[in-house]
Structure 1
Amino acid sequence: MKVKVIGFWGAYPEAEGATSSYLLEEDGYSLLVDCGSGALSRLQKDIEVTDLDALILSHYHHDHVADIGSLQYASLVQSYLREDTPVLPIYGHQANLDYFYTLTHKRTQGLPYDPDEVLNIGPFTITFLQTQHPVPCYAMRITNGHYTIVYTADTSYFDALIDFSKHADLLIAECSFYEGMDGSGPGHMTSDECGKLAQAAGVKQLWLTHLPHFGNIEQLKIEAGKYYSGRIDIAQEALTFHA
């Protein structure tokens, strides 16, 4: 399994960057998790649009779905250029049907996932946990049968995240605020909460992502490191986990 950061900013991308998006690859299968602003441009540094096998969305806030429309146009254009281009499946929840229906376009097909059920996409098995966020949002636990990653998506801290993240090989945790701040209102976590979660869950590695646009980003790692004894990386484009 390979996991690569495509986008990592919260809210909006800084220059030459992208918001939330992560590419998972296993045995030639490519799954994109979220598709935020700038993600499509950065994704094409790694794979062609036509090589993307599926996309899954945690929720429908703009910084996680902004490039869906461009991806739909890209899929359409490529279908004119290559006759063998398959329809791209886009998995999303149905708690917001108005947005879910927009996932289906001429060369994309919106497919619902039930967060109470296990979902199989290619070589990946995915389970879900509804997070604490102003809109319906789902954390994902993704495994290939040998290695497991957990993506918190957007959420404030709550205890159920510990069991959900238990013994993951990689925890991709949103880290929108610094230690001592309160992210519970907007539904986001702080650096110290990320560290405490990683330690309590016994994960092997921690990525801090969904980064803020203020303060010294490196401080997030220092603060999380007070509470977590494992490896911590601050998300950046092309940061890669190999298993």
Structure 2
Amino acid sequence: MRITVLGGLGAWPTAEQSCSGFLVEHAGFRLLVDPGYATVQPLLARIPAAQVDAVYVSHGHPDHCADLQPLLRARVLADRAGPPLPVYAPAGALDRLLAVDEPGLVDGAYRLAALVPGEAFDLGPFRVDTWSLPHWVPNVGARFTGRDAVLAYTGDTGSSPDLVELARDADLLIAEATYPVEIPDRHVDNLSSAAEVGRYAAEAGARRVLLTHLWPGTDPAEAVAAARRGYAGPVDVAVPGLVLPVGR
């Protein structure tokens, strides 16, 4: 399995970096996870739109899904006879996004599948296990199990005992870490810190951690240091172009 970081910021993109988004490649299958703001351009610099095999959206906030819309345009306007793109998302999460275009333009470009937290399903070469994790809107964390690798992904989440199970013995945990240590009162219970990620990654026995969704302007070194206070394994921050091999 190979993970390519398209972006790693939360809330909004900057001139230097996109919001969170990841290209997950395994056994010839290309899965796009959370195509947030400004992720489609770095994606298309690597593969054509038609070569994305499926999309997984953890929740409906635009910093995790906005660039699905230009991706669909890039597919359907280039080839109206192309196959629909399977898109997995919580029920209703993408309704407003998919309604911004002229009626009918991208209707044939996608096929929606509603995520039901707690259910498992097959997606290409992956078995996907899902959890409902606390956020302002429905957020579905996922564990993608391939032939010889396990990727755990939180989406955005507040503290939850389910995070340990999600990350259990994962080869790579991609975890939201908006703040290094202190979470403002307005975001408590809905977002995480790098320090929290380090603690539950250690309890879960995750083999490697990738911190994502940092608030724009956050010092990546500060986030890494916070995670390492509770976790002894490798810790990286999601930056555009980072490629990580995953598995044994």
TM-score by length of 1: 0.92
CA deviation after TM superposition for structure 1 residue 77, in Å: 1.5
User: Partners of 1:97 and 1:241 in 2: how far apart?
Assistant: 29
Matched residue SS, 2:117: coil
- 2: CA distance, partners of 1:71 / 1:127: 26
Separation of aligned partners in 2, 1:171 and 1:150: 5
Query: Residue 225 of structure 2: SS of its match in structure 1?
Result: helix
For 1:236, the equivalent position in structure 2 comes to 239
- Mapping for residues 126-141 of structure 1, pairs under 5 Å: 126-141=128-143
Given candidates 106, 112, 116, the residue that maps to 1:110 is 112
CA offsets 1:24-72 (integer angstroms, 9 cap, x no match): 1112110101111111101012211111111111010010111121111
Q: Which has the higher contact order (CA 8 A, sep 6+)?
A: 2
Contact kept, 8 Å, 1:79 with 1:107, in 2: the verdict is no
Correspondence for 2:89 among 88, 92, 98: 92
- Kept in 2, the 8 Å contact 1:13–1:19? The answer is yes
Quick one: which amino acid aligns to residue 83 of structure 2? P
Could you tell me which of 205, 209, 228 is aligned with 1:202?
Answer: 205
> Secondary structure of 2:77's partner?
helix
Q: Judge conservation of contact 1:60–1:99 (CA < 8 Å) in 2.
A: no
CA distance in structure 2 between the partners assigned to 1:213 and 1:115 by the alignment: 30
Kindly provide the CA deviation profile for residues 180-222 of structure 1, in whole angstroms up to 9, marking residues without a partner as x: 3346536111121011011111110001100112342211101
Give the Cα–Cα distance (whole angstroms) in 2 for the partners of residues 31 and 16 of structure 1. Answer: 24
Give how far 1:97 is off: 7.6
- Aligned residue type for 1:91: Y
Question: Do the aligned residues in 1 keep the contact of 2:183 with 2:192 (CA within 8 Å)?
Answer: no
Whole-angstrom distance in 1 between the partners of 2:147 and 2:125? 8
Q: Which amino acid in the other structure matches residue 93 of structure 1?
A: P
3-state SS in 2 of match to 1:119:
strand
Query: For the residues of structure 1 that align with 2:93 and 2:48, how far apart are their CA atoms?
Result: 30
Local SS of the residue matching 1:23: strand
Instruction: Tell me which residue corresponds to 2:190.
Output: 187
CA distance, structure 2, for counterparts of residue 186 and residue 69 of structure 1: 30
Structure 2 residues not aligned, in runs of 5+: 101-105
Q: How many residues align?
A: 240
Flag structure 1 segments of 5+ consecutive residues without an equivalent: none
> Relative to structure 2, which stretch is displaced further, 30-39 or 88-97?
88-97
Divergent runs of 4+, >6 A: none
1:98 Cα offset (Å): 3.8
The whole-number CA distance in structure 2 between the counterparts of 1:53 and 1:78 is: 16
The alpha carbon displacement at 1:107 in A equals 1.6
Q: Which of 147, 150, 158 does residue 149 from structure 2 map onto? A: 147
Aligned-residue CA RMSD in angstroms?
A: 2.0
Distance 2:45 2:94 in 1: 32
Q: Matched residues in 1 for 2:174 and 2:153: separation? A: 5
Q: TM-score, normalised to structure 2's length? A: 0.90
Asked whether the equivalents of residues 95 and 136 of structure 1 are also in contact (C-alpha less than 8 Å), the reply is no
Q: How far apart are the structure 2 equivalents of 1:136 and 1:210?
A: 17
Please give the alpha-carbon distance, in whole angstroms, between the structure 1 residues aligned to 2:140 and 2:211: 18
